[in-house]
Every structure is written in structure tokens, then in C-alpha cells.
């Protein structure tokens, strides 16, 4: 059953997934090329100096990319599900409803994790070749909350999509925007270091918000 | 699962309200009074201030006794601060308090020093360039390597190859160890910029809180252990590198006492500042040949100290309460650091 569910979700998002992987790797590659251009023109010393003295991290372009990827992943996966009333069918599968819902979302989460991890590994490999480990981690730890925001956006948009009543959707949207704002409160490098473990944990547990929307859908709430 | 989800959503909404409502109120309705610019005048023997006029037009200049000064008079009572204006007006004095002065001397002796808690508490990368202090050239140049301090010793990393320069690392590590340095360092203070007149390298506190001075001179390590008075346990160090080369560093100890480390003699001098905690207090020093005006801002209190430039003894102290009205709530950022995490204030 789980394999079938996984396959159903994969069918829905595969083209978007491939497109977003190309886009994220492309944008990350472009960002690395920009660093490489500085290295070629001014020498790698300039990159180190600017990072040490001016706190530059060179990857600001990627800041909202994971957020957009996560948000679109949820829209692509769940808007057709809700519009075509397929959710009702999914909930009638011969297994616990919560299991079906969580399985659907875990598929999206898994794909996002694969996509974000590949971007991280790609950046790690390039940065490792030109920067000391302290500088490399300075960049990657600064970017980590952006990627958590991508996962949080996925769960929160899923929560909004499953919600059957428009008024509540607007309310959920306001809450979602405020939660996502927390991930972008500071541009200072490594500003989130202390908060990262808690943010990571919170990002994972908000998967359960969607269950509230599904329960409302099940109880017959509608516009 | 339903209960947990409802509880989590409720806690989230409550949390967001406690964050956003005070933020909205503070954004639209909070207020704080204007901080007057305050500096000690050697000629008046008192602190003098400039403050925007009540009607919003112009500036009022006065001393603490209430005597009001015109703009021109204000320049005259602060000759070391308004050097350039007095030179342009051809009013710069030949002597001040019996000491003959000239604009060049004034500019050599003047300095400004600032420390903020956010600088102290922010994340440090842990890589430091060690410039050549005795290159024989006027302009300083950034080196082509940086060092890190581990529990084993110093590691110089060549920037071009991104590899550790073993021979240089051993040379500097051994030099430090010979002088009694115990790795790792718990405090590293330097000013790694080429925008200064000279380089004094780094001051280091080793794992036993012993103080060391490390420089690179003609490619060789210069290491000196600095004798500290008994019972002095240092915590924060600030290399000064002022034009007059009188001081090497400012330092604070675990009891938040402020000390000056003299250049050349390496003498540690206590000051008349009663308390300064770099992790929570803002510090601003305007120094000149005669006096230093030290402003320490802590929460809603600003304390101004006038110190004698010769022995750092207290001349005068003035405290000022800063009025500010903010609605308490949950905040993610603070003036004290660059960290983002929820805190109630």
C-alpha cells in the first residue's frame, strides 16, 4: 500500500521535482561560479579577506530559493488532490487515514530532503576546495535556516491546501507567513546557530497541522 | 494526534501573538528620549552637552551647571575635539592648561574607541591574519595566510593552496610554548585591518589565563608573556593601535574592572571606571592629550567618566537615566548579540 501511495505521489510531482532540482542546482552552480569569478579576477585571497573582514557569505542569492521550492512542491502535490476531490479517495484506502496523510507528506519531505541535500553537498564540495573549513561552515550554517524554511513552507502550505474552508485558509496563511518570517529575521551570518536545533525540531512537528485540516475536511466542513 | 496538533497550534498562535503584538505596539508607539552628545571639557572642568532644541530648531550647547554656550564658544572650550574648525578659524590655542600644543599633536593624541556587546557576543570565524609588523614599508599588507589556534598549537593555513603550512605553524607554536603558553587560547584580540598606522599583532589569553603578546616581525615570531598583577584574572582584551602608541590594549577582568595595558613597558594600569562588562555594556571613549571621556551605556543608564589621560584616574563622573518605553514581549533579536532566538524582555 505504501509503495502504491509513494508511486501515486511521485507521479504527481516528478516533473516538478526534476525541474526544481535543475533550478536549485543551476542557481547553486551559478552562485559557485560567481565565487569562482571573484577567485579568477581578484584571487582567492580576496574571497577570504572579504569573508573575514566584512562577514560576506557570497550565497545571498540562494536565500529564498528553498522557500519557493518547498512552497511550490506543496502546491503541485496537494492543490490537484484537493481540487479533484482525490483526498476523499485517499482517506478511504484500507489503512489508517492518518497513515495515508503522513505517507503523502513524507514523500514530499523525502524529495525535498534529497534536493536540498544534493545542493548542500554540491556547495560543500566546491567550497571545500577553496576555503578553510571554518569559512565553509560559516557559509553553510548561515544557509541552513533557509533550507529549514523550505521544509516548513512545504508543511504549512499543505496545511492550507487541505483546509476545506476559505476563511480558515486565510487564517492559516497568516499564521504560516508569521512562522516563515521567523526563518528570515536576520542577515547576520550564523545568527541562528543557537536556535537551529529547536527550529529543526519544530519544522518537523508542524507536519501534524495538516492532520487538523484533514479532520475538518472529514467532518464535512466546507464553504 | 488530534490533541497534540491542537495543542501545538494553540501554543504557536499564543507565541506569535506574544511576539507580534508588542512588536506592533513598539513599532508605532514606542518612544525614547534624545541622547545628548556629552564630552568632558578640560577647560571648563565639567561635562558639556549638545542637545537638539525643544522646538526642533537648532542645537543647545551647555555644561552641567546650566551655562549655555554659543557654537563658537563651544568650539573654544573643546579645542582638542574641534581642532580642524579652530584651525580654519585661526583660533587654535598655543597652550592648553600650560602645555604647548599644535594641531598635529592634537590629531596624534586624539582617538575614538568603541565596543558593543553585539561585537563581543557574535560568532567568531576563528581565523586570524597575522600581518608583518616590521616590514619597513609605510603601508600594511595582508598576509597570504591565516592562523587558527587549536588545543595543540597554531596552524597557519596558506590561502592560495588551502593547506596547512607545517614549518611556519611549528615555528610559531614552539615560540609560544617556549614562553610558557598553554594551548588552547581562550581569548584572541587583534585588529586585522590594513587601515591603521601600525600593527601590534595579537594579545592572547592562554588556557591558564596568562597574557601573551604575539607579533610577526621580519617573518619571525615575537612572543612576550606579560606579567599581570596578582589576583588579576582577565576576561576580555582589545588591541588599541592608536596613533600616539601610548597604549597597547584595553582589558577587562572577571570582576568587570577596566585596565589599560601600556605599550613598550607592558604595565597594567587600573582606571577610574567603576564597572564595564563588554558582554552587556556599550563603550565609547573619546580620548585626547588631557582627558578621556568614557561613556558606558547599560540598559537604561548612561554613565560618563572623565579620566586623566596621564594616569587614567577619575576626574569626574556623571550618570544619566535614559527614558525609553517599550512593551515587553517575546523578541527574537537583541542589541546584545546577533543571535536569533526567542527571549522575553
Confidence check: pLDDT of A23 > 70: yes
Q: How far apart are CA B186 and CA B205, in angstroms?
A: 6
**Dihedral angle of Cα B176, B185, B235, B283, to the nearest 10 degrees:** 100
- On whether the CB atoms of residues B333 and B21 are closer than 8 A, the answer is no
Peptide bond into B184 cis (omega under 30): yes
φ/ψ (deg, to 5) at A124: -60, -45
Q: What is the pLDDT of residues A38-82, one digit of tens each?
A: 999 999 999 999 999 888 999 999 999 999 999 999 999 999 888
Q: How far apart are CA B128 and CA A185, in angstroms?
A: 29
Q: What is the pLDDT of residues B134-147, one digit of tens each?
A: 877 878 889 999 99
Residues of B with CB under 8 A from a CB of A: 1-2, 4-6, 8-9, 12-13, 16, 19-20, 122-123, 125-127, 129, 142, 144, 146, 148, 157, 159-160, 162, 192-193, 332-333, 338-342
Residue of A nearest to B341 (CA): A195
Q: What is the pLDDT of residues A120-154, one digit of tens each?
A: 999 999 999 999 999 999 999 999 999 999 999 99
Q: What is the pLDDT of residues B270-294, one digit of tens each?
A: 999 999 999 999 999 999 999 999 9
A218 confidence band (pLDDT: 50, 70, 90)? confident
Q: How far apart are CA A176 and CA A153, in angstroms?
A: 8
* 111-130 of A, contacting B, C-beta below 8 A: 129-130
Q: Which residues of A touch B131 (CB under 8 A)?
A: none
Q: How far apart are CA B286 and CA B294, in angstroms?
A: 7
Q: What is the pLDDT of residues A159-191, one digit of tens each?
A: 999 998 999 999 999 999 999 999 999 989 999
φ/ψ (deg, to 5) at B184: -85, 175
Q: Which residues of A touch B169 (CB under 8 A)?
A: none
CA distances from B80 to A12, A183, B41, B95, B272 (A): 74, 48, 9, 11, 22
Closest CB to B159: pick one of A45, A186, A206. A45
B327 confidence band (pLDDT: 50, 70, 90)? confident
CB contact under 8 A, B341 and A195: yes
Which pTM does this prediction carry?
Answer: 0.89
Please state, for a pLDDT cut of 90, what percent of chain B lies above it: 80
Q: Which residues of A touch B9 (CB under 8 A)?
A: 175, 209, 212
Q: How far apart are CA B345 and CA B132, in angstroms?
A: 46
Confidence check: pLDDT of A86 > 70: yes
Q: What is the mean pLDDT of residues B299-303?
A: 90
Residue of A nearest to B338 (CA): A191
Q: What is the pLDDT of residues B26-83, one digit of tens each?
A: 888 776 667 889 999 999 999 999 988 877 778 899 999 999 999 999 999 999 999 9
Whether A212 has its CB under 8 Å from any CB of chain B: the answer is yes
Nearest to A105 by CA among A141, A145, A151, A144: A151
B345 confidence band (pLDDT: 50, 70, 90)? confident
Query: How many beta-carbon pairs under 8 angstroms link A with B?
Result: 94
Q: What is the pLDDT of residues A1-14, one digit of tens each?
A: 778 888 888 998 99
As given in the structure block, the three cell numbers for residue B219 are 617573518
CB contact under 8 A, A129 and B162: yes
| Candidate from A51-60, B13-22, B49-58, B215-224 with smallest mean pLDDT | B49-58
Q: At a CB cut-off of 8 Å and minimum separation 6, what does B66 contact?
A: none
Q: What is the pLDDT of residue B325?
A: 76
B150 confidence band (pLDDT: 50, 70, 90)? very high
Q: What is the mean pLDDT of residues B86-90?
A: 93
Closest CB to B144: pick one of A45, A190, A212. A45
- Calculate how close chain B gets to A19, using CA atoms only, in Å: 33
Nearest to B264 by CA among B200, B326, B171: B200
Q: What is the pLDDT of residues B228-267, one digit of tens each?
A: 998 999 999 999 999 999 999 999 999 999 999 999 899 9
Whether A175 has its CB under 8 Å from any CB of chain B: the answer is yes
Confidence check: pLDDT of A87 > 90: no
Half-sphere exposure of B71 toward its Cβ, with a 13 Å CA cutoff? 5
B324 confidence band (pLDDT: 50, 70, 90)? confident
Nearest to A73 by CA among A24, A122, A121: A24
Nearest to B344 by CA among A185, B334, B336, A176: B334
Q: What is the pLDDT of residue A112?
A: 96
> What is the maximal distance between C-alpha atoms in chain A?
64
Q: Which residues of A touch B160 (CB under 8 A)?
A: 43-45
Closest CB to A52: pick one of B19, B125, B162. B125
Q: What is the pLDDT of residue B32?
A: 65
CB contact under 8 A, B127 and A53: no
Amino acid at each position: 500500500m505504501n509503495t502504491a501511495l509513494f508511486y501515486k505521489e511521485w507521479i504527481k510531482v516528478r516533473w516538478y521535482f526534476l525541474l526544481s532540482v535543475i533550478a536549485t542546482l543551476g542557481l547553486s552552480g551559478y552562485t559557485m561560479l560567481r565565487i569562482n569569478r571573484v577567485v579568477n579576477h581578484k584571487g582567492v585571497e580576496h574571497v577570504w579577506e572579504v569573508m573575514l573582514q566584512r562577514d560576506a557569505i557570497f550565497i545571498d542569492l540562494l536565500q529564498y530559493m528553498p522557500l519557493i521550492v518547498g512552497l511550490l512542491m506543496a502546491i503541485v502535490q496537494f492543490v490537484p488532490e484537493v481540487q479533484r476531490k482525490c483526498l476523499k479517495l485517499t482517506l478511504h484506502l484500507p489503512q489508517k487515514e492518518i497513515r495515508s496523510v503522513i505517507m503523502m507528506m513524507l514523500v514530499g519531505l523525502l524529495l525535498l530532503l534529497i534536493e536540498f541535500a544534493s545542493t548542500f553537498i554540491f556547495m560543500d564540495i566546491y567550497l571545500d576546495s577553496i576555503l578553510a573549513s571554518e569559512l565553509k561552515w560559516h557559509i553553510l550554517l548561515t544557509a541552513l535556516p533557509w533550507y529549514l524554511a523550505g521544509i516548513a513552507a512545504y508543511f504549512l502550505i499543505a496545511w492550507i491546501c487541505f483546509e476545506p474552508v476559505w476563511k480558515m485558509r486565510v487564517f492559516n496563511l497568516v499564521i504560516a507567513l508569521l512562522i516563515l518570517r521567523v526563518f528570515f529575521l536576520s542577515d547576520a551570518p550564523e545568527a541562528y546557530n543557537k536556535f537551529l536545533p529547536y527550529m529543526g525540531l519544530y519544522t518537523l512537528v508542524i507536519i501534524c497541522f495538516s492532520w487538523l485540516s484533514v479532520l475538518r475536511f472529514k467532518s464535512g466542513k466546507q464553504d | 494526534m488530534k490533541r497534540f496538533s491542537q495543542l501545538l497550534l494553540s501554543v504557536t498562535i499564543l507565541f506569535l501573538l506574544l511576539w507580534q503584538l508588542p512588536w506592533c505596539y513598539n513599532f508605532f508607539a514606542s518612544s525614547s528620549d534624545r541622547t545628548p552628545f556629552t564630552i568632558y571639557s578640560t577647560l571648563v572642568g565639567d561635562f558639556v552637552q549638545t542637545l537638539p532644541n525643544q522646538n526642533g530648531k537648532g542645537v543647545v550647547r551647555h555644561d552641567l551647571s546650566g551655562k549655555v554656550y554659543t557654537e563658537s564658544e563651544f568650539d573654544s572650550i573643546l579645542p582638542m575635539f574641534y581642532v580642524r574648525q579652530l584651525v580654519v578659524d585661526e583660533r587654535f590655542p598655543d597652550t592648553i592648561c600650560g602645555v604647548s600644543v599644535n594641531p598635529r599633536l592634537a590629531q596624534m593624541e586624539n582617538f575614538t574607541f568603541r565596543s558593543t556587546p553585539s561585537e563581543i557576543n557574535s560568532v567568531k570565524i576563528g581565523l586570524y591574519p597575522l600581518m608583518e609588523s616590521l616590514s619597513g614599508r609605510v603601508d600594511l599588507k595582508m598576509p597570504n595566510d591565516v592562523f587558527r589556534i587549536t588545543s595543540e598549537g597554531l596552524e597557519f593555513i596558506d590561502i592560495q593552496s588551502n593547506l596547512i603550512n607545517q614549518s611556519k605553524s611549528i615555528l610559531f607554536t614552539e615560540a609560544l610554548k617556549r614562553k610558557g603558553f598553554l594551548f588552547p587560547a581562550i581569548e584572541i584580540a587583534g585588529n586585522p585591518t590594513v587601515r591603521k598606522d601600525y600593527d601590534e599583532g595579537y594579545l592572547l589569553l592562554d588556557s591558564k589565563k596568562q597574557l601573551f603578546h604575539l607579533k610577526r616581525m621580519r617573518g619571525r615570531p615575537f612572543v612576550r608573556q606579560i606579567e599581570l598583577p596578582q589576583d588579576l584574572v582577565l576576561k576580555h582584551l582589545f588591541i588599541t593601535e592608536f596613533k600616539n602608541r601610548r597604549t597597547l590594549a584595553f582589558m577587562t577582568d572577571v570582576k568587570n574592572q577596566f585596565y589599560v595595558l601600556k605599550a613598550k613597558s607592558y604595565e597594567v594600569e587600573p582606571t577610574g571606571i567603576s564597572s564595564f562588562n563588554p558582554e552587556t555594556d556599550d563603550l565609547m571613549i573619546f580620548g585626547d592629550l588631557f582627558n578621556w571621556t568614557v561613556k558606558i551605556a547599560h540598559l537604561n543608564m548612561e554613565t560618563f567618566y572623565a579620566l586623566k589621560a596621564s594616569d587614567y584616574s577619575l576626574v569626574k563622573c556623571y550618570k544619566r537615566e535614559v527614558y525609553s518605553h517599550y512593551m515587553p514581549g517575546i523578541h527574537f533579536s537583541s542589541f546584545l548579540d546577533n543571535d536569533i532566538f526567542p527571549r522575553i524582555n
